[in-house]
């Protein structure tokens, strides 16, 4: 159990560093209730850009990683 928690913290930390290096945005939000899971979404924007969102839900916290790439 502790290994899984440490692994998750390491993954979140690496994602935060990667996103901030690419001029992205990181939000950490508390949620009502308890959830476990992950979500990835990408959406085409104007000017030939693509927005990427990775959301990791861990019990009462939501970690959202958002960045934009050129197509």
pLDDT tens digits, 18-68: 888 888 898 999 999 999 999 999 999 988 999 999 998 989 999 899 999
Q: How far apart are CA 60 and CA 58, in angstroms?
A: 6
Q: What is the pTM of this model?
A: 0.74
Instruction: Say how many CA atoms lie within 13 Å of 47 toward its Cβ.
Output: 4
């Amino acid at each position: 159990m502790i290994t899984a928690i440490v692994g998750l913290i390491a993954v979140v930390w690496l994602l935060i560093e990667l996103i901030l290096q690419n001029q992205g945005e990181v939000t950490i939000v508390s949620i009502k209730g308890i959830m476990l899971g992950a979500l990835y979404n990408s959406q085409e924007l104007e000017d030939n850009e693509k927005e990427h969102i990775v959301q990791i839900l861990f019990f009462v916290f939501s970690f959202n990683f958002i960045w934009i790439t050129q197509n």
